C-alpha cells in the first residue's frame, strides 16, 4: 500500500484571474496529521475543498493513496470532512446522525446502528445516542461530527477549523482528543487552522501557506526552530527580527557587539536575524552579551516579560519566573542562547 495519503502535483485553482491555490505540490504521509496554517485568504480552505472534491482544480493532478481522483466527485473519493459548524442534522438524534451516511450508502438499519454505536463508544459518547444535537455540549457535538465522519471509514479525514466554536479551555481538550483518536486509529488527517499554537500542538507536519503557495512545510519543531524566512518566523510564534552580521559558525555581531551563540550554518555577512524571546538570557550589566536597558517589565506568574532597548533595536524577552528579575531602568546584558539567521524572503 502507498505510504502517501494525498499527492498534489502542481495544483492550481483559479477563480477568474485570481489564483487561490497557485501551483501547489506536496505528498502527505499516511497516518499523519498535517495542518494547513496561514493568514486569512491564503488558500487553506480551498486546498481542503480540492482534496474533498468540493472544488475541482483548474490544472494539476490529485492522488489519494495512489489513485488519481482529480476528476472524481466528492462522494467517490472516500474522504470525510468535519466542518466548523459540525453540520449535524438538528431533528435527528445522535445515533441517527451517525448512522445516516451508512444508510445512504445502502447499509441495513440494524448493521448501520451497530456500527454507529461502536463508533460512539470509540469516541466516548456511549449513552448519548438518543439525544438531539441541541441537548449536547459543544465538545460533544464536535465528537458526534467526528463519529459521523469516521463511521464511513474514510481514507482521509478533513477538518476545517474544527475548534473555532469552542471556548479556550474546551479547545485544548478537544484538540487533544482529536490527536489521540488520530493516533489510535492511525488516521490520515488534514486539518485547517489559523491558530499557530493549535497547529504546533496537534500536528505531525505543518504546511504554512501564503498567497496560494506553500511557504514552508515541516515538523512543528523544524518550523519553530528553523523557519525559512521572516514571515514564517513571525507567524510561528513570536520573534525579534533584527539586522545583524554573521561572523562565522555560531558567532554573530548585533548592534556592534560580537556574540557567541548557537545557530544554523549561514554564509558570513550581513543578515536578518530572528531571535525567539525565550532564547535571550538576561544578566546583570557587565556579563558577556549585548548591553541593554529594561524599558518595561511585567510579571505573568510562570514567566516575566521585558522590553529591552539595545543598540540592535528593541528586544522582547521572556524569562522563566525563577530566573533573576529586573526592573524598569536596570542596565542588563542580553546573552543570545540561540539565533536564527534568515534567508532573504518576505
Q: Which residues bind ligand ATP (CB under 6 A)?
A: 15, 20, 38, 40-46, 194
Residue 43 CB, nearest distance to ligand ATP (Å)?
4
Nearer CB in complex with ligand ATP: 42/273: 42
Pairwise CA distance, residues 167 & 198, whole Å: 13
Between the CA of residue 52 and those of 14, 208, 264, what are the distances in Å? 17, 19, 38
- DSSP character at residue 344: S
Residue 339 CB, nearest distance to ligand ATP (Å)?
31
Nearer CB in complex with ligand ATP: 177/195: 195
Pairwise CA distance, residues 45 & 83, whole Å: 11
Residue 42 CB, nearest distance to ligand ATP (Å)?
4
Nearest Cα residue to 164 out of 43, 236, 82: 82
Residue 214 CB, nearest distance to ligand ATP (Å)?
12
Residue 5 CB, nearest distance to ligand ATP (Å)?
20
Nearer CB in complex with ligand ATP: 149/192: 192
Cell numbers given for 81: 470532512
Nearer CB in complex with ligand ATP: 212/341: 212
Q: What angle do CA 277, 283, 289 make, to 5 degrees?
A: 75
Nearer CB in complex with ligand ATP: 44/276: 44
Amino acid at each position: 500500500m502507498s505510504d502517501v495519503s494525498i499527492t498534489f502535483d502542481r495544483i492550481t485553482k483559479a477563480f477568474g484571474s485570481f489564483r487561490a491555490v497557485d501551483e501547489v505540490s506536496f505528498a502527505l504521509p499516511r497516518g499523519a496529521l498535517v495542518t494547513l496554517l496561514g493568514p486569512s485568504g491564503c488558500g487553506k480552505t480551498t486546498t481542503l475543498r480540492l482534496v474533498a472534491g468540493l472544488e475541482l482544480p483548474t490544472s494539476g493532478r490529485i492522488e489519494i493513496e495512489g489513485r488519481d481522483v482529480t476528476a472524481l466527485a466528492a462522494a467517490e473519493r472516500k474522504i470525510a470532512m468535519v466542518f466548523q459548524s459540525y453540520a449535524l442534522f438538528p431533528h435527528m438524534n445522535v445515533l441517527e446522525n451517525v448512522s445516516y451516511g451508512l444508510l445512504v450508502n445502502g447499509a441495513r438499519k440494524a448493521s448501520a446502528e451497530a456500527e454507529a454505536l461502536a463508533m460512539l463508544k470509540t469516541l466516548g459518547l456511549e449513552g448519548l445516542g438518543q439525544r438531539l444535537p441541541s441537548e449536547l455540549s459543544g465538545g460533544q457535538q464536535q465528537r458526534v461530527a467526528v463519529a459521523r465522519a469516521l463511521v464511513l471509514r474514510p481514507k482521509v479525514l478533513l477538518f476545517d477549523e474544527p475548534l473555532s466554536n469552542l471556548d479556550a479551555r474546551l479547545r485544548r481538550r478537544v484538540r487533544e482528543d482529536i490527536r489521540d483518536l488520530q493516533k489510535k486509529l492511525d488516521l490520515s488527517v488534514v486539518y485547517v487552522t489559523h491558530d499557530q499554537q493549535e497547529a504546533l500542538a496537534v500536528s505531525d507536519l505543518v504546511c504554512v501557506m501564503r498567497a496560494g503557495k506553500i511557504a514552508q512545510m515541516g515538523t512543528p519543531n523544524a518550523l519553530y526552530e528553523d523557519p525559512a524566512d521572516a514571515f514564517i518566523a513571525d507567524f510561528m510564534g513570536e520573534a525579534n527580527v533584527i539586522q545583524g552580521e554573521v561572523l562565522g559558525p555560531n558567532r554573530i555581531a548585533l548592534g556592534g557587539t560580537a556574540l557567541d551563540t548557537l545557530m544554523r550554518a549561514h554564509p558570513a555577512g550581513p543578515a536578518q536575524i530572528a531571535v525567539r524571546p525565550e532564547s535571550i538570557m538576561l544578566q546583570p550589566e557587565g556579563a558577556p552579551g549585548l548591553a541593554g536597558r529594561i524599558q518595561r517589565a511585567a510579571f505573568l506568574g510562570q514567566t516575566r516579560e521585558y522590553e529591552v532597548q539595545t543598540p540592535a533595536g528593541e528586544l522582547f524577552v521572556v524569562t522563566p519566573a525563577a530566573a533573576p528579575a529586573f526592573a524598569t531602568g536596570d542596565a542588563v546584558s542580553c546573552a543570545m542562547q540561540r539565533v536564527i539567521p534568515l534567508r532573504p524572503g518576505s
